Amino acid sequence: MTTAQDLFIVALEASPERPVGQGDLSLALAGAELIDLVAQEAVTLDDDLILPGPQPGLDDRLLAAAASALLRQEPYERVDDWLWRRGRDLSAAYQGAFEEDGLLSPARRGRLSFGGGQLELVASPARQRARGRWEEDEPVLRALAAAVGIRRGPSEDTPGPDGEAVTTVLAAVSDAVMELEAVRQRRSIENAAFANIWRAP
């Protein structure tokens, strides 16, 4: 299992009163993939530039797809550009992979809402592993979840994420999610103003 898969599971198990937006989650999933690629030494970061290394053999097909999607010629890609490019519809790709692998099924009682449909996670080692990481308050998973609005109580004793590269990616994810929210708000204001024009006497 990967950090992105664990994040997807945590997002599905988040409170149904405040579901995670697919755009926010897609950006965070792209960040999670990049963090895992750093851990696999498939990439290194030079400030915020992604420098690809040897393409490793990866068991997870979505992480392998992420490695294949890296730009391998100069000028190399910046982390924020990667998040927007790789993140496009990425949550839908994870949903499809989970359904294909039998980790996700239509909900019987409509408890979880995601992507406009009612879905639920089935009992599996993957779900147990993600829950274990979440309950342990693992710093990277906690930071990615917080970026998309999934928060847990303060944990002053828990250390922050290790490594400059991981910190750079997490900061970029937070910035990208805030930028997406700003776009949403701007569109909402513009749509409201347009509607008022038609309602004016």
Q: How does pLDDT run across 58-68, given as a tens digit for each residue?
A: 889 999 999 99
Per-residue pLDDT of 75-125, as tens digits, reads 899 999 999 999 999 999 999 999 999 998 876 554 445 554 577 889 999
Domain ranges of the chain: 3-199
pTM of the model: 0.85
Residue 72 to residues 53, 57, 61: CA-CA distances in angstroms?
Answer: 9, 17, 19
Structure-token pair, residue 173: 């994810």
